[in-house]
Structure 1
Amino acid sequence: MKDELEIFLEKFNVLTLKSKEIPKNAAFVAYSGSKYDGRDFIQEAINNGAKGVIFEAQDFQKKLNLDIPSIAINDLKSKLPSIAAKFYKHPSKKISIVGITGTNGKTTTAYWLSQCLNYLKIKTAFLGTLGYGDANEFKKIQNTTPSAIDLQHIIRESYKKKYKNIAMEVSSHGISEKRIENIDFNYRLFTNLSRDHLDYHKTINEYAAVKKKFMLSEKNGKIIVNIDDKVGESIFNESMLPTEKKISFSIYKKSDIQAINISYNRMSLKFDLNYFEESFPIKLQASGEFNVYNILGVVGCLSAQGFEINEIIESLKSINPVPGRAEFIMSNDDLPMVMIDYAHTADALENILKCVKNNDFKKIILVFGVGGGRDKGKRKAMAEIAEQLADNCIITTDNPRDENPLEIIKDISKYFNHKPMEIIDRKEAICKAITCAEKDDLVVVAGKGHEDYQEIGEKRIYFSDKKVIEDFLKERELKN
């Protein structure tokens, strides 16, 4: 027998948390969040076309005189993953889902995996930091892992569009806030773990525990794990899955899938792939040890899905560069090369700088900042790595949020032994770096990658590193 909520939900086609953007025949969902109380926006949602309201009953004194159907539910936020899954008819049971978690490499691994699966004629959607859809066209989303409502809706829409697979990034916030509950993952992949999000998780151990919880909760599917990482190794050893449902990958330790004899230059990398008991030479258009790990993760996922090694190797030839990840922006031979990268953790910054350091550039000029309102502890580590691996550094603004951008810059600079250049305006900082660079130098602009905004206060203001660089290089070309 159907309960009151099920009967209520049958009236609508869509659930939404957004009071300003109400789809056709949608029910607005309202509960108290960390910054705002969604219930304060009920009238706005109705004015914008909401046909029903589901709201948190607890601690809500306001009298609602609504002319549309409504229902009050206690502890709504924690029940939302289950409500959303039921509403959208449990779409994850009808489609294969790969959940990819870790500090670095999630986007590249998911992006490349989706490309390989599509090459192998398995229609696959990408879902993560870049948005969702296929590699040719992404719809933007607010978070790496969207809300439980949006996730279930995206999975349902993917199924309706005949996708067979989703390669999905799974963030620590998404795990902690239970956005991914009631999603049936067929495969779970762990990339690595280093310091990040400690403003949210408080300690590295708490952060690691969240990632482990996601990986170790797999009871029926398969896991693919980087065992060079200490947390990854413990996940692999502690998992109760049978041996045939666990795949390990590595560079330095013996594993099921291992890369050895690695070499790379600016545009390509080579290694020997030890695949279980066989060995195969691999050559790809990518660079850096960190990308070897990403490729191994993809190989592990494809193996877990039952593809033969010859199919896997052939599919790797289809991978293209990921937007905003170690992305070179070219100009004529008289101007320096410029790279943009999303590196916003100490580990990611170290990876990208070590990669380009080995590529015979005369000097590395780094432009970077650190986000405001987040873990302040990583500023010291990022400053030390920047000074150690870059020849010149310019510290600038990167999503200051509710902090004073100049104070953030000063806070980073104090960890340098030799004072770096400080330029508060990010556009000016980028242009200065390119102006100072010679043609055999490389300018690395780190922190934002694909992002096309700056978070200032509570607003997102349009800003694109790539657009600034392309425009400035064109201007320089015309002058030359």
Structure 2
Amino acid sequence: MTSPLDRFRPTATRPRRVRDLALTFGLETAATGPDDVTVTSVVSDNRLTADGDLFVALAGSRAHGARFAADAVARGARAVLTDAEGARLLGDALAGVPVLVAPDPRAVLGAVAAWVYGSPAERLMTFGVTGTNGKTTTTYQIDHLLRALGWKGGLVGTVEMRSGDRVLASRLTTPEAADLQALLATMVEDEVRTLAMEVSSHALALHRVDGIEFGVVGFTNLSQDHLDFHGDLQAYFDTKALLFTPARARRGVVVVDDAWGERMADAARIPVATLRTRPARDGEADADWTVSDVVPHGTGSAFTLTHADGRTLRTSTSLPGGFNVANAALAAVMVLEGGAHLDDVREALDAAGGLSATVPGRMEVVGAGGGGDPRVVVDFAHNTDALELALDALRPTTAGRLVVVFGATGDRDAGKRPAMGAAAVSGADVVVVTDDDPHGEDPAAIRAEVLGGARAARDVAAAAGRSVEVLEVAPRAEAIRRAVLDAGPDDTVLVAGRGHETIQEVAGVDLELDDRVEARRALATRHERTTTA
């Protein structure tokens, strides 16, 4: 299990004088130290502090980081950056340690960290992907293609952080600014040349990607999610749109399959190429890139990318569903718009078997079916649109019943819970409502909200002559077990919502729970029963 204290750090950086830092960023000085104090790295978690750090004490939801500054100094921090409240809390506690003050330290942290580490992003070919669904898959496919082209790659996202062949599990979709800049500096030190990175709306709102100007950014889609943080869809969209500004990126690619994509293309303040992955409708403007001739094969699909100037690329993705065609197409177009030559991309993809990156917990086949077993698939689908798309992708290749096991997250956007229940009933034959990560909420109350939407949709379906079974089973491990054991040999069981995650938080307690492990355990139990029958 990855510790919350794990992170990448460069082994050597050029010392930066604290007084130069203050001058460069117009920072006030609350306390001064020797004139020659230097820092070589930046940290905002006192537990991660090492010798030579600048400790950035941020105001938190539970406590101010200044309360941990003394511990950071004891661990080796040479200077502190905080706000006026933090300086007041520190008082004279850190004698001889420079204390710098900014009105909003979080707003300057990215730029400060980039300055300390020597602007590492400028030495990388950078690709950033935002959107509600598909960020992880798209970044994996970008990284896969760049490596196929011969580049040594780095990756940052929900599942993992990777510098070349060194891998560290992720805690956040986009790391905090200090950790992110340290990671980029490590990549430069590791002679990594390219970066494929997920950019969450939280990262944009909380300044985590400040200090990076991406070469190419991409937009997948937008649907209801994270409204507990953003308030409404318009605010959510506006935050995503920050990535398509000159301060954040030089060029963009936008999927314009729906109105939100069209709006993003219009709102962008940088040059963008548009991508449409479905047939154009009356009144829609022509897209720069289009997807056509989609032919399902095996678990994935082959498709053709065509530019308005006539250039074409025939390739494939190994993942099922139209949404994964869109993710793969976006990845290819972003690399092409980043300057890769079409012939080189074609040759690389032909050699690599298409856009065939394996993405942990994204339509991951845990059991392929056959031999009396159902097919079992684990996916991260944790909102209404993603759940609908995952079920739609599995329906055409399911001869029997389509079973879905899912729940809703606690302390998050509660408005989507009934809608997720209704979406499950719309797409599946058997709906098993269980727990996701309850966090601080009552799990039974969360399930009740999901079940309300599911049962209402079930009644509507019954009136139309369609029968759907709706069950409530908790805890989650038991729900997965029952779904797999009760499934028929021609059925598909989709376990949705957590994907690659291995920790479930219940009432502040972290419990080990991996949907893939539980599904394999249930399949093993089926085999034991068959053998001993």
Supply the distance in 1 between the matched residues of 2:46 and 2:107 (Cα, whole angstroms): 20
Q: Shift of the alpha carbon at 1:311?
A: 2.5
Residue equivalent to 2:292:
260
1:256-298 Cα shifts (integer Å, max 9, x gaps): 2211232325512122332331444434422110011111111
What SS does the aligned partner of 1:455 have? strand
Q: 2:363 aligns with which of 323, 326, 331?
A: 326
What amino acid is aligned across from residue 389 of structure 1 in structure 2?
G
Query: Which among 336, 342, 346 is matched to residue 309 of structure 1?
Result: 342
Is the 1:409–1:424 Cα contact (8 Å) retained in structure 2? no
Q: Work out whether 1:475 is the aligned partner of 2:525.
A: yes
2:439 maps to 1:389: no
**Which residue of structure 2 aligns with residue 26 of structure 1?**
53
Aligned to 1:74: 102
In structure 2, give the amino acid aligned to 1:17: S
Q: 1:216, 1:235 within 8 Å by CA — same for their partners in 2?
A: no
Partner of 2:516: 466
Stretch of structure 1 that moved more, 177-186 or 129-138: 129-138
User: Secondary structure of 2:48's partner?
Assistant: coil
For residue 424 of structure 1, what is the aligned residue in structure 2?
Answer: 474
Match of 2:442 in 1: 404
Report the counterpart of residue 298 of structure 1 in structure 2. 331
| 2:67 counterpart of 1:40 | yes
1:237 equivalent in structure 2: 266
Q: Which moved more, 1:117-126 or 1:1-10?
A: 1-10
User: What is the Cα deviation at residue 470 of structure 1?
Assistant: 1.8
In structure 2, C-alpha distance between the alignment counterparts of 1:357 and 1:219, rounded to whole Å: 40
More displaced stretch, 126-135 vs 107-116 = 126-135
Aligned counterpart, 2:304: 272
Separation (CA, whole Å) in 1 of partners of 2:511 and 2:46: 21
Q: CA deviation at 1:136?
A: 5.5
In the alignment, the residues of structure 2 paired with residue 261 and residue 17 of structure 1 have an alpha-carbon distance, to the nearest angstrom, of 50
Deviation at residue 72 of structure 1 after TM alignment: 3.6
**Which one is further off, 331-340 or 94-103?**
331-340
C-alpha distance 74-426 of structure 1, shift in aligned 2 (>3 A): same
| Cα gap change, 1:357 to 1:265, in 2 (>3 Å) | farther
Q: Which runs of 5+ in 2 are unaligned?
A: 1-15, 23-32, 281-285, 459-468
Give deviations 1:229-267, integer Å, cap 9, x for gaps. 32221232344545xx63534323342221123232551
Are the equivalent residues in 2 in contact too, given 1:132–1:139 (CA < 8 A)?
A: yes
> Could you tell me which of 434, 449, 461 is aligned with 2:484?
434
Tell me the residue number matched to 1:125: 154
Equivalent of residue 286 in structure 1, options 319, 325, 340: 319
Structure 1 residue corresponding to 2:416, chosen from 378, 384, 394: 378
Query: 1:87 aligned to 2:119?
Result: no
Q: SS of the residue aligned with 1:448?
A: coil
Q: How far has the Cα of 1:222 moved from its partner? A: 1.6
**Aligned partners of 1:215 and 1:241: how far apart in 2?**
6
Q: Which amino acid aligns with 2:361?
A: G
Of 150-159 and 339-348, the range deviating more from structure 2: 150-159
Distance in 2 between the 1:370 and 1:347 partners?
Answer: 13
Q: SS at the partner of 2:343?
A: helix
Distance change (3 Å), C-alpha of 1:335 and 1:68: farther
With structure 1 as the length reference, what TM-score do the two structures score? 0.93
Deviation at 1:94, TM superposition (A): 1.6
In structure 1, what is the Cα distance between the partners aligned to 2:329 and 2:164? Answer: 20
Is contact 1:354-1:389 (8 Å) kept? yes
Comparing 416-425 with 436-445, greater Cα deviation is found at 416-425
1:11 maps to which residue?
38
Determine which of 225, 232, 235 is the counterpart of 2:254: 225
Unaligned runs of 5+ in 1: none
SS, match of residue 403 in structure 1: coil
TM-aligned CA deviation for residue 36 of structure 1 = 2.8
- 2:188 corresponds in structure 1 to 159
Aligned pair count reads 478
Question: Which residue in 2 is equivalent to 1:456?
Answer: 506
1:3–1:449 distance in 2 versus 1, CA, 3 Å = closer
How far apart in 1 are the matches of 2:80 and 2:294? Answer: 57
Q: Secondary structure at the match of 2:480?
A: helix
Amino acid aligned to 1:349:
L
1:108 correspondence with 2:103:
no
Label 1:20 to 1:216 Cα distance change in 2 as closer, same or farther (>3 A): closer
Letter in 2 for 1:433: A
Distance 2:76 2:147 in 1: 38
Shift of the 360–57 alpha-carbon distance from structure 1 to 2, 3 Å rule, reads same
* d(CA) in 2 for partners of 1:141, 1:467: 19
Cα contact 1:338–1:443 (8 A) shared by 2: yes
Pair 284,109 (structure 1): closer, same or farther in 2 beyond 3 Å: closer
Identity of paired residues, percent? 28
Note closer, same or farther for the CA distance 1:45–1:461 as it changes in structure 2 (3 Å cut): farther
How much is the aligned-residue C-alpha RMSD, in angstroms?
2.4
Matched-pair contact (CA < 8 Å) for 2:145–2:332: no
The 3 A distance-change label for structure 1 pair 73 and 448 is same
Summarize the Cα distance change of 1:219–1:108 in structure 2 as closer, same or farther, 3 Å threshold: closer
Q: 1:173-212: CA deviations, max 9, x gaps?
A: 1111121122111111111111110000001011111112
Q: State whether structure 2 residue 396 is matched by structure 1 residue 358.
A: yes
Q: Distance in 2 between matches of 1:477 and 1:329?
A: 15
Q: Deviations over 1:276-330 (max 9, x none)?
A: 3144443442211001111111121121122232322343325222110000012
Bigger CA drift: 371-380 or 462-471? 462-471
TM-score (norm 2): 0.84
Verify the 8 A CA contact 1:16 1:28 in the aligned structure 2.
yes
